[in-house]
Structure 1
Amino acid sequence: MKFLFTFLILLFFNLISAQSDMERFPVFDGCKEKASDQLEDCFYARLYVQLKDSYRHPVKKDSIKNQSVTIRFEVDREGKFVLIRTDALKASVKEGMIKAFENLPQVEAPTFNGAPTYMQFILNIPIPMKDFGSFQVYSSSNKDLKKQNRKEEEEDSLAFAKANEEYSTILTDQYDRNQLRSDAIIPLSYQRYHRYEAAMNRVGNNAHTAVKPYTFNYVDQYFDLEAERESLLKERETWLGRKWSNEHFFEVAGKDYWFVVDPGVDLQVGRDSRDEVTTYNNTRLVHVSGGIGSQITFGTSIQESQGRFPGYFEREVRLRAPDGGNPGIVPGRGIAEDGGENIFDYPVATGYINYKPSKYFDLQLGHGQHFIGDGYRSLVLSDNSQPFPYFKLNAKFWKLDYTVLYTSLRDVRSEVTADDSFRTKFMTHHYLSWNATKRLNIGLFESVLWQDDNQRGFDFNYLNPMIFYQSIELQTGSRGGNALLGFTAKYKFTDFITAYGQLTLDEFSGASVVRGAGSYQNKSAYQVGVKWQNAFKLPNLMVQLEYNRVRPYTYSHNTVVLNYANSNQALAHPWGANFYETILIGRYTKDRWYGIAKAIYGERGYDILLHGDTAFYGGNIYGSEDDRISDNGNETVQGNISNFFFGHLEAGYVINPASRLKVFGQVIYRSQNPRFNNDVVRGESTVWLNFGLRTDIMNWSFDR
């Protein structure tokens, strides 16, 4: 028995020895004299030296330290090195290692049982490579791994991911101005958009410029966004310098995703000469934009603000106070809380997610603002109202651009509040833009509002994106909805001169217009304007002249909830109705500097509200048509007539073109002189001097 036990032990060790002799690592020239049990160490040592001699470490201002490269490769039956996969955090490191690997010499092939075979390896290489360094070996094999991979592909892939420490190899530093080539939204800004429109309005372009906001991808077809960004870059050596002057604060990108984050501010301080008020605004915000794959983009902004405004604007805020005790609504921003000492505390939040199923369609769900038109004002839909929830469908093909907008709005006035909650109403809007020729664009629009009464909710009659709403409104009852129709047009005289216009018809009665009796049913508005780019042959100077005229009772309704407004803010022109105005604007841009000069003159018709005269003269779109002064004899600008003048000069400097942080100074002069002073309007002249540092992601409209 002892003899048998000894024999088995000797046999076992002989088998192990034989097995070891059957397996041999690839052999470099310098390893041929080594014993069999030393070939493995010699192979790794020679391989490290060969790669170190060929590898060229990237030299950058932000040097790459304490990183690694994971490589998976095989040595085939001919002794050639075949690279399978390379992973590294930095693309430059990865590319350098691939080039180094291509310089490896041919070696003696690995063998198994005396026959040439394949051998596969997974190694981790510390970067930068140092003298007398070494690998971290994850695995090696002497089997025909090609055959094994075919049988065990899933197990091998999972094992490799685990061995390669998947988390540490996720790429996050590949951002290369991805935003400028994406379908992300460009925040609405007059000063920012005027340069884009100069390029988009050239004769022969198939661009549609009325529906805003634009996306980066759309603008980039006509205006080179990357070239503009490149021209504005400043030489900065430090990380802080680059983030302050050139880049987004936080930039992340990998193979199939990207996003940027910018903290921001809107800090203003000024002085109102008339009311002797020191004004200020203190906004802290964060703005996020990103994309996942090629079809999904998203964005959001969150703002928390406190402000004290000049006297005329403060009264505007308080006149719009909602039910429930809050002191007012900041136009374009939202409901404000009382911060004490005439200070308003108001938050703003916007956001969207956009899905592009094909190159022709965009589907967007969000909470934000919209603008339709080519003018400074819009008589169709503007960003005068605070952000609201919406779903938007857009299709661009051939010479057409078709937009459908489904929205949810609120009426927050005390007289219409039900069960201590704001009244909900809905709006659906269609806009079709057609480039009829290389110079002429024609647009058609229709919108309908209806209230959420009798548990009506979102009426499915208005979901159809192709329907004519006037007929549906009649079927659901004329007091059950408020429909608007209209036209827009744009004509390019040259590459630099463009004329535009709008016509809005609200409960329009053709017979009343023909009779010419001044019927209250003639509820209409029109706009005409012209833009001159590179005016007076000065590059980047734009001069704009615009005229707007809105008849009394336009945008109002006999069912007062159905006025064309949201949260006590007009959805079209901020003056409501019963007015005319002339606007002259000049905008100039030079590198990062800009200047604005604006003058507005007009006449507005208010309600008298004195001496027992409580009649509705048609200027306040929240009034009821049942209280109108007469069926006929109505004229544009009637009632408590007031002339209006607004002058605005501004100069500024864009600190960071990526985040749109800018510093500015402005002086505003405003004068109004009504026939009668009342709680709504009074004669006054104001000079407001204001300075600020702000992230330009929303328009401020103080000309009201």
Structure 2
Amino acid sequence: MKLALRSVLVFFFFSCFTIQAQEALSDIEKYPVFESCEGQSGQALAACFNNTLQSYFFENFNAPEVVAAENYTGTMVSLLEVTATGEFKVLYTEAAYQELKDEVKRVFESLPEIEPATYNGKPTYVQFQFRVDLPIGSSPVTSAVNTTDETLTAASDVVQDQYKNEYEEIKSFPYQNEEYTSQLNIPLSHQNYALFDSAMNQVGINNHTAQKPFVYAEVNKYYDFEAANQQLLKKKSSWLGRKWWNEHMGIVKGEDYWFTIDPGVDLQVGRGDGVDTYNNTRLVYFQGGLGKKLNFFAAVFESQGRFAGYFNRYAESLRPDGGNPAIIPGRNIAEPFRTDSYDYPVAEGYLSYAPSKHFNVQLGHGKNFIGDGYRSLLLSDNSSPYPYLRLNTTFWKLKYTNTWMSLRDVRSEVTLDGSFRTKYMANHYLSINVTKRLNIGLFEAVMWENDNDRGFDLNYLNPVIFYRAIEFTTGSRGGNAIIGLSGKYKFSDQINAYSQVVIDEFSSGDVFGGDQSWKNKLGFQLGAKYYNAFGVKNLYLQAEYNQVRPYTYSHNSIVLNYGHQNQPMAHLWGANFREGILIARYFNGRWFGSAKLTFGERGFDFNTAEDSFYYGGDIYRDEADRPFDTGIEIGQGNTTSVFIGEFQGGYLINPATNLKVYASLLFRDFTPNVDTATEFASSSTWFNLGIRTDLFNWYFDF
């Protein structure tokens, strides 16, 4: 078929090829001469030139497959020159496909040198212009000229005519859920990740589940998003019905690009701690792809809200320098709204590029998570979004993640000239599938500040070096390094267990000395998951225990703590705590429900004139303020018991946009040994009704 197409194309091209020589070029007395045409003159020489050129082109031209594959209709314009030395040169080719341009150039420029044209007995150049309609159906318009300006002007006219209808000729294609096979992140939502967590944790598969967010392409191998989506679709024929129940609002798809745009909301009304509460978020998000390797996402949130009393108090305790009243946990700095509410805008987005199946690189503003649990002691998503660069490398039984972040310390103590203090963090996480059941992860992170105008230290761009070694070369007091270890074991397709250990400022003498040194900064996590529990399809159960010793994640420098915008980068509670969590989730079609119980013991500071010591829970305090060096115990200070119960039920309105309607009930009991101005006994009951586009995790359990 390819040979036949080539033959037809070339035959018609050259059977219609004529050169109007003497009429157009009265200043050429003799045509260029091929070796086989020597001894001929006048029209005979022109004909011989044509025939020889045709034969050579016919023997060497290979029609690009794309011309036939796409049934292309259009015009090709080429300018060919035989120079004064007898060389063939393609000056210009205007065609719809680069492959066609390249092939024309290759064929003509492979011609041998010939005797050049002459004028008044002297060698001169001659240029040939031809126009060909594709597919070949009429004679090409061909002429010979020797004025480059004239040639290019004529070609420009042809090109302008050719593209006059370019706008109308843009083709649209049906959208086929390209995001499900793309390099886009699956939005971080515990509720949504539970849908495919079982599929990602089958015994024998060689994937990695700790580095989050996942991209659709890596999950789609194990969980068929398209099939799951088809099961949820409602039969709607009207445009409004399809957009409300099944589809993205705006869709554009071309030959090698696509994008969607959707409005969204997070509207809540409720009552908590005796006051009416609400959240009013309007958002728009835009996502798409250019080719198969590059994807993009952007979301803008505009929000106002008033929350239950304990949540408002915590948000205000995070307030930044500069007069703003609060930081909404996990979101952003808030401005005052009316007399008792907050206004907090948020913007997130990223570019995601996969140069090959082994690599994915992302540049964005958002969050990351490392771990298999509900919490993470290594890197969590409970802080505000931040700029990041992330590189995932996957091969053999390994997945290696490098993340570089730019963070902010927004406290009054570190603000300079009205600007928040910049600090940076880099981390490595290496995930290894040791067997088909056992996975082990190795973690290291370092935080450093912009001291001595250090800026982003290029030493930490090295993706394979140990950060502790870099600290010694750059000044160990200028950084805060943390290391960690994680593990997961799959007992069966239904049950797996996971763990994490975090080590901050490891000193073997202090850890194993038995005197409970303050330098013994350790934390660990143990958890288990049970899928399709007790034979009930889509019933997901999870149990988790976390504990972190006092002073973990803090530092003797006022800036180098493991935090961002006054929020911890790991566990929501900071340090100096024990916590147990029980979670149940259930799905049935578009219906869903969840229950979460949290039991904990935390150690707070008294912050009184009689006792202003730092007991190790608030990671933003200076370690030098500790009351003693040994005998350090979890829960020391103002020991507080915490119980939180969260219950939620809802209905998925649109699976394409993750729009949900729900009702939730939260009960919180907070009982310190000593009531202080900031920590005092309280019980909160918070009921909410809402509709939200579920793109991130809301955490209310602190």
Q: Secondary structure at the match of 2:689?
A: strand
C-alpha displacement of 1:197:
1.5
- Alignment pair present for 1:531 and 2:529: yes
Question: What do the CA deviations read for 1:11-36 (whole angstroms, capped 9, x no partner)?
Answer: xxxxxxxxxxxx9xxxxxxxxxxxxx
- Paired residue type of 2:364: G
Question: What do the CA deviations read for 1:645-672 (whole angstroms, capped 9, x no partner)?
Answer: 0001100000000000000000000001
- Alignment pair present for 1:349 and 2:347: yes
- Paired residue type of 2:498: Y
C-alpha displacement of 1:144:
6.1
C-alpha displacement of 1:160:
9.0
Aligned counterpart, 2:329: 331
C-alpha displacement of 1:475:
3.2
C-alpha spacing 1:160/1:519, structure 2 compared with 1 (3 Å): same
Instruction: Judge conservation of contact 1:579–1:637 (CA < 8 Å) in 2.
Output: yes
- Alignment pair present for 1:143 and 2:130: no
Structural RMSD (CA): 2.4
Aligned counterpart, 2:178: 178
In 2, the alpha carbon distance for the partners of 1:431 and 1:157 equals 59
In 1, the alpha carbon distance for the partners of 2:641 and 2:388 equals 37
- Paired residue type of 1:557: H
- Alignment pair present for 1:169 and 2:156: no
Aligned counterpart, 1:204: 204
Instruction: Judge conservation of contact 2:486–2:500 (CA < 8 Å) in 1.
Output: yes
Aligned counterpart, 1:104: none
Instruction: Judge conservation of contact 2:204–2:436 (CA < 8 Å) in 1.
Output: yes
C-alpha displacement of 1:514:
1.4
- Paired residue type of 1:397: F
In 1, the alpha carbon distance for the partners of 2:561 and 2:660 equals 37
In 1, the alpha carbon distance for the partners of 2:520 and 2:361 equals 36
- Paired residue type of 1:215: V
Residue from 599, 605, 629 that aligns with 2:603: 605
Residue from 593, 596, 612 that aligns with 1:595: 593
- Paired residue type of 2:186: I
Give the gaps of 5 or more residues in structure 1: 1-22, 24-80, 88-118, 124-139
C-alpha displacement of 1:250:
0.6
Q: Secondary structure at the match of 2:198?
A: helix
Instruction: Judge conservation of contact 1:331–1:385 (CA < 8 Å) in 2.
Output: yes
C-alpha displacement of 1:168:
1.2
Instruction: Judge conservation of contact 1:286–1:303 (CA < 8 Å) in 2.
Output: yes
Superposed, which structure 2 residues align to 1:390-405 within 5 Å? 390-405=388-403
- Paired residue type of 1:508: F
- Alignment pair present for 1:253 and 2:253: yes
C-alpha displacement of 1:82:
13
In 2, the alpha carbon distance for the partners of 1:478 and 1:248 equals 51
In 1, the alpha carbon distance for the partners of 2:405 and 2:163 equals 51
Instruction: Judge conservation of contact 2:133–2:140 (CA < 8 Å) in 1.
Output: no
Instruction: Judge conservation of contact 1:120–1:141 (CA < 8 Å) in 2.
Output: no
Aligned counterpart, 2:194: 194
- Alignment pair present for 1:305 and 2:303: yes
Question: What do the CA deviations read for 1:63-100 (whole angstroms, capped 9, x no partner)?
Answer: xxxxxxxxxxxxxxxxxx9995369xxxxxxxxxxxxx
Aligned counterpart, 1:616: 614
The answer to which of 629-638 and 170-179 deviates more is 170-179
- Paired residue type of 1:622: Y
In 1, the alpha carbon distance for the partners of 2:158 and 2:653 equals 48
Aligned counterpart, 2:21: none
TM-score by structure 1 length? 0.79
C-alpha displacement of 1:471:
2.1
Q: Secondary structure at the match of 2:632?
A: coil
C-alpha displacement of 1:552:
0.1
In 2, the alpha carbon distance for the partners of 1:146 and 1:583 equals 81
Aligned counterpart, 2:101: none
Aligned counterpart, 2:114: none
Instruction: Judge conservation of contact 2:445–2:481 (CA < 8 Å) in 1.
Output: yes
Instruction: Judge conservation of contact 1:173–1:251 (CA < 8 Å) in 2.
Output: no
- Paired residue type of 1:214: F
In 2, the alpha carbon distance for the partners of 1:82 and 1:253 equals 20
- Paired residue type of 1:569: Q
- Alignment pair present for 1:233 and 2:220: no
Instruction: Judge conservation of contact 1:175–1:254 (CA < 8 Å) in 2.
Output: no
Instruction: Judge conservation of contact 1:577–1:621 (CA < 8 Å) in 2.
Output: yes
Aligned counterpart, 1:219: 219
In 2, the alpha carbon distance for the partners of 1:190 and 1:320 equals 25
Residue from 443, 447, 450 that aligns with 1:449: 447
TM-score by structure 2 length? 0.79
Instruction: Judge conservation of contact 2:650–2:661 (CA < 8 Å) in 1.
Output: yes
In 2, the alpha carbon distance for the partners of 1:650 and 1:82 equals 53
Q: Secondary structure at the match of 1:169?
A: coil
Question: What do the CA deviations read for 1:616-636 (whole angstroms, capped 9, x no partner)?
Answer: 000010011111111111011
C-alpha spacing 1:236/1:637, structure 2 compared with 1 (3 Å): same
Q: Secondary structure at the match of 1:560?
A: coil
Aligned counterpart, 2:485: 487
Q: Secondary structure at the match of 1:454?
A: helix
- Paired residue type of 1:691: L
C-alpha spacing 1:155/1:309, structure 2 compared with 1 (3 Å): same
- Alignment pair present for 1:549 and 2:532: no
C-alpha spacing 1:142/1:306, structure 2 compared with 1 (3 Å): closer
C-alpha spacing 1:412/1:165, structure 2 compared with 1 (3 Å): same
- Paired residue type of 1:599: L
Q: Percent identity?
A: 52
In 2, the alpha carbon distance for the partners of 1:554 and 1:367 equals 27
Residue from 668, 681, 684 that aligns with 2:682: 684
- Paired residue type of 1:211: Q
Aligned counterpart, 1:322: 320
C-alpha spacing 1:535/1:239, structure 2 compared with 1 (3 Å): same
Aligned counterpart, 1:646: 644
Provide the aligned length of Structure 1 versus Structure 2: 573
C-alpha spacing 1:122/1:512, structure 2 compared with 1 (3 Å): closer
In 2, the alpha carbon distance for the partners of 1:120 and 1:474 equals 69
